[in-house]
Structure 1
Amino acid sequence: MSRLALLGGGFSTDEDGLLDDWVLGHARAARPKVCFLPTASGDAPAYAEKFLAAFRPRSCEPSVLPLFRRESDDAALRAFLLAQDVVYVGGGNTANLLAVWRVHGVDRLLREAYAGGTLLCGISAGANCWAEGSHTDSFGPLTHLPDGLGLLPGSVCPHYDSEPGRRSSYRAAVASGALSAGWAVEDGAAALFTDGRLTEAVTRTPDARLYRVRADTGANGADGAVEEAVPCRLLGGDVTASCGTPSG
């Protein structure tokens, strides 16, 4: 069973810790080893410290893997990554992240870890990287990036509700075929995929939404794309919240 999660929040943006606790709850170990990869931020020290500060008090064994000042040889790097129960990827530049991972062979190791049961997850660039393509500002203006590890079929768009232009630009990319149908994650929502299929969707706030976005040339999609809202469970509550309604 291979699993990955797209996060619309976590330790870097939220104070309640709900999404991070949700991730840990899906780890294969009671006290999981959790490795943070801050590659997309250029291994920003403050980002790594914020992760450690958030996860050290939790029931887990947190660590950080820097690649810009790498110390491990290939064998040690492989052993370390395959021993992790959760790999948590931070935000930043998606295109740069993919390039650095490939230089160091981390892309291949993450595929191996994924196949072996390690839960892969991340926010922003750390969500984009798992799909076949994504919506990104890696090159300055918002655009489509037909690149990724391809562990999740289709495309991903983070910050769907919080960054100006995200929604319209992603819909246009999907409508034109520049990106295949995919998942739009609003800040506060998260999605778990098992063997490439959506198996759980949650939110930390009642208003956060997860959408399935696809091209549609019919009357439902006036701009050539249609959104289908996914029902989500509200974390911290016993009810199932409806993440909005389908939109054309």
Structure 2
Amino acid sequence: MVVVSARRVALLGGGFSTDEDGLLDDWLLKHARSPRPRVCFVPTASGDAPAYIDQFLSAFKPRNCEPSVLSLFRRELDDEALRTFLLSQDVVYVGGGNTANLLAVWRAHGVDRLLRDAYSSGTLLCGISAGANCWAEGSHTDSFGPLTCLQDGLGLLPGSVCPHYDREPGRRTSYQEAVVTGMLSAGWAVEDGVGALFTDGRLEVAVARTPEARLYLVQADEDHEVIERPLSCRLLNERE
């Protein structure tokens, strides 16, 4: 009998790098396939910033998990060891930074292919900002300075992603324009404070740290007008 693993991606509008309450990270760990999951932080988008790595380790070492870090700017593992390491993880947690640079570095090291294999084998892939953008077919990003469209990504999640939908000036209108004009396909706009879990490309559950935080599905109608549909989010501090 062939056992098919659930293929899951989580988009995070927060976590250890922005929130003091730890609600989103605690929620995330509950969806790992192991009660004491191996959690690998991938800080490529920040250039493997040491302070970011320290922040992750400080947040996850006290939790019931086995945290580790994959550094590619000071890579130590050969190809075989890198594959073994990544495919042994229960959660791969990708940090924020520059989405375009992240994808380029991953491809140079073959990490994009390894993450596809990990996804197919049941590893939960997740991240914030650039670490959310990278899983989709395209994203809304400031990788090149001004806000723009990046028609690139691993494509594990159909459509596009826009992080920081409510907090950064110009995000909402710029992303909506990109979807309406066809520069980006319809997709998911993530406000800060939201977590969204997808299984096999379909939204399974959305949660929020605060009552006002929302996840939106942004589409264009046949008249090229924007449709912004807010989706129900379960409040974590009430039911999680």
| Percent identity over paired residues | 77
1:139 paired to 2:139: no
Verify the 8 A CA contact 1:38 1:89 in the aligned structure 2: yes
1:117 to 2:122 alignment: yes
Q: For 2:40, what is the secondary structure of its paired residue?
A: strand
Counterpart check, 1:13 vs 2:18: yes
**Residues 187-220 of structure 1: CA deviation (Å, up to 9, x unaligned):** 00110000000000000010100000001244xx
Q: Deviations over 1:29-77 (max 9, x none)?
A: 0000000000000000000000000000000000010000100000000
Among 83, 92, 98, the alignment partner of 1:93 is 98
- Residue by residue, what CA displacement relative to the aligned partner does 1:118-147 show, whole Å, maximum 9, x if unpaired? 000000000000000000000000000000
1:56 aligns to what?
A: 61
Partners of 1:178 and 1:215 lie apart in 2 by 11
The residue number in structure 1 matching 2:165 is 160
Per the alignment, in what secondary structure is the counterpart of residue 226 of structure 1?
Answer: strand
Query: What does residue 231 of structure 2 align with?
Result: 230
Q: Is the 8 A contact 1:131 1:148 kept in 2?
A: yes
Q: Equivalents in 1 of 2:168, 2:222: separation in Å?
A: 26
Does residue 197 (structure 1) correspond to residue 202 (structure 2)? The answer is yes
- Separation in structure 1 between the aligned mates of residue 221 and residue 195 of structure 2, nearest angstrom: 25
Residue equivalent to 2:155: 150
| Deviation of 1:238 (Å) | 3.4
Find the residue that maps to 1:156 and give its secondary structure.
strand
Aligned to 1:68: 73
Give the Cα–Cα distance (whole angstroms) in 2 for the partners of residues 4 and 130 of structure 1: 8
CA distance in 1: counterparts of 2:74 and 2:194, whole angstroms: 33
Higher RCO (CA < 8 A, seq sep 6+): 2
> In the TM superposition, what is the alpha-carbon distance from 1:225 to its structure 2 partner?
1.1
Q: Which amino acid aligns with 2:113?
A: R
Where do 4+ consecutive residues of structure 1 move more than 2 Å?
A: none
- The answer for the alignment partner of 1:243 in structure 2 is none
Q: In structure 1, what residue type is equivalent to 2:198? A: F
Is 1:217–1:225's contact at 8 Å kept on the other side of the alignment?
no
* 2:88 partner letter: A
Task: Write the letter of the residue equivalent to 1:201.
Answer: A
- Aligned match of 2:3: none
Q: Secondary structure at the match of 2:237?
A: coil
Give the number of equivalent residue pairs: 235
TM-score norm. by structure 1 comes to 0.93
Structure 1 SS opposite 2:24:
helix
**In the alignment, does 2:129 pair up with 1:129?**
no
Q: Alignment partner of 1:103: what SS? A: helix
Structure 2 residue matching 1:236: 3-state secondary structure: helix
Q: List per-residue Cα deviations over 1:134-167 (Å, max 9, x = no partner).
A: 0000000000000000000000000000000000
TM-score, structure 2 length as denominator?
Answer: 0.97
Contact kept in structure 2, 1:174 and 1:181, CA below 8 Å:
yes
Equivalent AA in structure 2 for residue 145 of structure 1: L
The aligned residue for residue 182 of structure 1 is 187
Distance in 2 separating the partners of 1:238 and 1:117? 26
